[in-house]
Each structure stands twice: as structure tokens, then as C-alpha cells.
Chains A and B, each alone.
Chain A
Amino acid sequence: MELLTGGLAEAWRLLTSLDAEVFQVALLTIEVSGLATLIALAIGVPLGTWLAFSRFRGRRAAVGVVNAGMGMPPVVVGLVVSILLWRSGVLGFLGLIYTPAAIVIGQVVIALPVVIALTVAAMQQIDPALRLQIRALGASRWQSLLLLMQEVRLALLAVAMAGFGAAISEVGASMMVGGNIAGHTRVLTTATVLEVSKGRFEVAIALSVLLVLIILAVTMILTRSQQRAFRRNG
């Protein structure tokens, strides 16, 4: 109990004293996970929409694989991305290993199945006749996608929240592909692991509180716009 209260007090001190190192780590965390979520949404929503409405042999199996991907262990993702980005790996020439970009790649791979699978589920709720009506209005593929996204925007905000949650909360991949280098690739989750390994629980608790606060803040912003849209349009 003493450890927890001490940790919370330390968290308060770090937050209120605007500790430069902590804020640098928090900022990198937001940047990396925010960017990873945006990339996952940009790829995953069109892909999920296509998967929801297209008809091809093996579509069900593909949806099954995507659903299974939601449970992909981050360490496995980290291992695969590390092998690919390793200096002698297939993508080694890019020189991305142990960079924030490598963490973004790892988090995109983790968030992508979540975004695709939940987009498939959201899009399949749309009345097929409405899709026919949109085509009858003369919509192009992209116009159809945008209109359908508007129809399920409440669900897509939930998809964004789930994607961001999956990206920001993983630690294994970030540790493996980022290397947890201070001032360069250290994010809140990897920093927390490091502080626990050093026995500095107060700092670890402070970092965890900060992580939870970031997740809460982002989720609250998205929830607010989701509920406002619900009140406006039902």
C-alpha cells in the first residue's frame, strides 16, 4: 500500500514539476501510437470495407485470419518485424531498426487486425439495399466508401479507440524493434518495464498513471464526438 501511495505521490510530483524526461517519453508515446493508429485506420478501414462486401473464394478464411490477428502476441510481431528490419534482414537497408519508425511499424501490425476486423463487423451492419441506393445515385468507389464510413462513423470511432488502445498498450514489439533507447525510442510502456526491472516502482507507477491518463484523454475526446454525432443523427 505504501508502495502505491508513494508511487502516486511521485507521479504527482513528476507531472506537476513538468519533468522533461517524462514529458519527452510521453510525447514520443503519443506521436508513435497516434501515427500508428492513423496508418492502421488508413489501411484497415478501406481493407475492412472491401473484405466486408467483396465476394471471392476464401473470403471467410481471410476474415478468420484477420479475427485471429487480433490476438497476435506483440512479442511475436516484434520478433517478425525485428527479423525484417535487422541490418541483415530483407528490409535492413532502410536502417529503421531501433528507431521510432520501427516502433510505428510494429504498432501498425498490431493495430491493423483490430481495425480491419472491427470495420468488417461495422460495415456488415449496413443494409445491403442502402449500398445499392448509393450506387444508384452514381457514386464512385471512393464516394461509396466515404458515404458508408459516414453511415458507420459511430462504430468507426470505436474502431479508432480500439486501434489506439492496442497500439499504445503493447510493450513487447516496441521493446524489441525500438530498443528502449533513452531520449530516442523510449516510450511509456518500455520505460515502465525498465523502471520495474530496476526496482524503481514509484517511477514505474508514475509512468503508468501518465499512460492511463493519455489513453483516457484520447478515448474521452473520441467518445465525446461519437456521442455528439449520435445525439445529432441517431
Chain B
Amino acid sequence: MIKLKDTDRLLIISTLLLVVVGVVMVYSTSYIVALKRFGDEFFFVKKHLTYAVAGVGCMIVASRLPYQLYRKLAYPALIIAALFLVCIYIPGLGVTAGGARRWVHLGPITFQPSEPAKLAVIFFLAYSLASKADRIKTFSPGFLPNILIPGIIISLIIMEPDLGTSMALASIVVIMNFAAGVRLRYLFGMGLLALPAVWLVIQNFGYMMTRIQIYLDPWKDPGGKGFQMVQSFLAFGAGGLYGAGLGEGKQKLFFLPEAHTDFILSVIGEELGLIGVSVVIAFYVIFLICGVKIAFKARDLHGQYLALGLTFMVVLQAALNMAVVMGMLPPKGLPLPFISYGGTSLMVNMAAVGIMLNIYMKENEA
């Protein structure tokens, strides 16, 4: 019997259940596309299952590694992350897909460097904010380096362009700075300064503009640019309370682009109904509460900030993805943590859970 006190078990269970939901839904969503395109209905789910198993490995390994390690790794990790992000531009290494360079080829594996970059930024911030805790109210080193250094990484991600991931990462940076007690006026000031920059970015990336227009009124052009959003709404609507049943969804039949990646929640909505969607939301809420509990229990500031950063990384992305597919925010292109098809994201998120478990175990040992 799991008691509410057993934070670690609750965290593991909610994580693994989300992963299981992911495997089932990736199969249900992709089998027709896979059959049509590759002649193998298991094409996507086989790959996804492999990532899930690798993810569990990442989680176990990370839970065994003492989290203090990340203090020493703070700068090297940042540098490696930055290097990988630069690799995207090297011909032969970088992979362009859908007009954006987001992937890197390394031997047989292809991965998204922006995913581990998120970890690197969190490692750095946890270390930096904890070590400068006494001077946290100062402009420098209390505020400036904790914004500037992550800013470099974020800029690199913007240039891919991957506005979704960079926005999410920027939000985590702000939240961690806020949690650590950085002066609010600096944060607000930075926010005001950033506004014109954000506007510039949006202007320069034409696709962002159309995304915002779609968000404002997807029904204006349901056959055209609003297509994806409208199809997502139709999926949710078709599902109703109980859903059409697993595998019975129609929207994934090429109506809903990227159904097995970014828009997988729409398919959950169609096939498993409001009940299924509610269960998924509930798992993320449990994940949030467990993460915050672990942060509170951590025995030093570094552990606290690390746990918070990782928790918010997962939860924020989940919230943003769900808000996007339901038309509450402009489309961003963020996967749903643990559920969406995609190896790098899954393994990074599961490694994050492993680190959180290690922080929790260290606390209990003491």
C-alpha cells in the first residue's frame, strides 16, 4: 500500500503510468500512418518502446548518481550543451526537418540538443543560485549571471528556430530566479526590456505570427492555417465524456498533423474522452506535488533548486502543451512529457525523475 508519505513511490508510479499511457497512445495514434508509410503498424511504437526502456535505464542510473555531481558538472554541461547546439549548423551533423534545424546526428543516433540543454541550464542555475544565496539580492552576481548565461543557451535555441522550447526554458529560468529570491524589480525590469526583443523575434519568424493569428481565431480559416487547431478541437469534441474507445479515433487519420507527437492529447481526448484527459492532468498534478515535496525535503539549497527546476521543467511543458492543443495558447511545438513520441525528450525527462529520486533518497539517508 502506498501512503501519501511515500513521495518517491508516488513519483515513480505517476511517471511510469504516464509513460505507459504514452506507449499505448503512440501505438493507437500511429499504427495507420505507420502501416501506410512503412508497411509496419508497429514502426513508431517499436522505436518509442525502445526509448521508454532506455528512459527507465536513465532514470535508474540518475537515481544512483549523487546529485552533488551536478554542482561540478554545471559549467562543463553548459559548454557541451552550447557545443551541441552549434553542431546543428554543421553540415553532416545537423538535420533539417520542417524548415527548422533541431536535430543532430551522432553516429547511429539522432537527438534534439535543446532537450539536454534544458538540463544543463537547470544544473547551472541550481548551482549558481545556491552558491550565491547570500548575495542573491545583488544585481551582480545575484541576478545578472543567472539570466545572462542561460540567455546564451536560449538564444541558440531561438535561432534553430524553436520558439516553444526557448520560451519554456526562459520561463523556467525566471521561475527558478524568482524562487531563489532574486529581486523582483530586476525580474520585472528584465521582462520590460525583453518585450521589444520578443516582439522583434516574433516579427522575424513569420511562422510565429501566423501561429498567433491561428490562436486568435482558428475557425476563420478551418481548411487552411487554422486546420490543425480546428482538427484538434474536433478530436476533443468527438471524444465527449467517455471517448470513442482506444484505437477508434478518426482524427489521427491524417486530419490531425503530428498526432503522435505534439497533438497526442487530442487523440487521448478523442479516444479516451474527458475521463482520459482528466487522468492525465491528475498525473501531472501528482508529479508537481511530489516534486515540490522533494524540493522542500532536500537537505541543501542546491538540491532544492535542482528538484524545483526539474519539476517545473516537466510540469511547465505539460501545461503549455495541453494549453496549446486546446487552443488556450498559440501553437508552440512542444511535446507532452512522457507521452509524446520522441526519444530525446522522453529520456531527458526520465533522467530528471531519477535525479529527483536521488535528492529524495539523500534526504532520507540523513
A interacts with B? no
Taking Cβ atoms with an 8 Å cutoff, the residues of A that contact B are: none
B interface residues, Cβ below 8 angstroms from A: none
